[in-house]
Amino acid sequence: MTSATIIDGKAFAAGLRTRIATQVATFREATGRAPGLAVVLVGEDPASSVYVRSKGKATREAGMESLEYRLPADTDQATLLALVERLNADPAVDGILVQLPLPRQIDAQAVIQAIDPDKDVDGFHPVNAGRLATGVEGFVPCTPLGCLMLLKSIHPSLSGMNAVVVGRSNIVGKPMAQLLLGESCTVTVAHSRTRDLAEVVGRADIVVAAVGVPGLVKGAWIKPGASVIDVGINRTEAGLVGDVEFDVAATRAGAITPVPGGVGPMTIAVLLRNTLVSAGRRAGVAINEAAL
Ligand SMILES: Nc1nc(=O)c2c([nH]1)NC[C@@H]1CN(c3ccc(C(=O)N[C@@H](CCC(=O)O)C(=O)O)cc3)C=[N+]21
Ligand SMILES: [Mg+2]
């Protein structure tokens, strides 16, 4: 028995992409060029290849230029850094995304830090992490920003809510906590060493699960009426599943994201949003962020 509202991230993302396309057209008229997103893929990890292909398709559908760079799995660090430098200097490139994970001969942190922070549409550069933490304009990582948009579609004000983020990665957990703090939530970040996770999750009005362990967050832990955002994308024998025990959680939650069709499609739509915003800033063309 499902009682929760199932949050349709796929539909929300499609709407966002349509609104982005409208402003991309305005940008093109004003500047005579399309916003450009460079995506770099090192190696041939099948999941990464799928994501890169769908990013390229979504980029073109929004009227932007997709520049794709596929490098062999044995690419060395100096070669990758040289490509990043070239993209930093290229005026046609508004956004740079180096697909993670990278092969082990490459120091991912060094590559992230080589990206011009003002083209870092992933929001992974420490300068952008610092900007987010201090409330300065920059780029916010796509997945947590997409989660926040879905939450605000349910609760226009999050002020005073108890939010529990399960997971403390630089890519999702930490920036998610910063965003929720910025919305005046009372934020708890739980992780693998948290004691009595059931009790911590049970206090939450908002649960964001981003640990990468299938079904780690049990449905019975969810406070009745809570909003549950499942960032997990786990490939199992049963297919693609999230970090939340969906069937049980959906009987208790007020609203919950499915996997697939929840957070994943938002990640790509927000990447396009960040690229449009970057193009606007770099060209001095106003982007109406409130209308996105
Ligand atoms: N520099 C970098 N930036 C990223 O943003 C980045 C990355 N590296 N590496 C890999 C992860 C993963 N990621 C996803 C994007 C879209 C879906 C997505 O669209 N998922 C769909 C379909 C899932 C499927 O069928 O495989 C869904 O959840 O409904 C998922 C995951 C971006 N990532
Ligand atoms: Mg952890």
The string of pLDDT tens digits covering residues 56-98 is 999 999 999 999 999 999 999 999 999 999 999 999 999 999 9
ipTM over 0.90: yes
User: What pLDDT, on the 0 to 100 scale, is given for residue 1?
Assistant: 64
Nearest to 179 by CA among 228, 226, 146, 132: 132
Please state the separation of Cα 161 from the chain's center in Å: 22
Q: From the CA of 48, give the closest atom in ligand 1.
A: 10
Rounded mean pLDDT of 222-236? 97
CA distances, 228 to each of 156, 211, 261 (Å)? 15, 14, 14
How far apart are the CA of 231 and the centre of ligand 1, in A?
10
Annotate 229-275 with DSSP letters as a single string.
Answer: EE---EEETTEEE-SB-HHHHHHH-SEE--SSSSHHHHHHHHHHHHH
Active site residues: 55, 99, 122
| pLDDT in the model for residue 47 | 86
Q: Separation of 193 CA from ligand 2 center, angstroms? A: 8
pLDDT at 2 exceeding the cut of 80: no
User: Which pLDDT band holds residue 46 (cuts at 50, 70, 90)?
Assistant: confident
Separation CA 149–CA 161 (nearest Å): 16
- Does the pTM surpass 0.95? The reply is yes
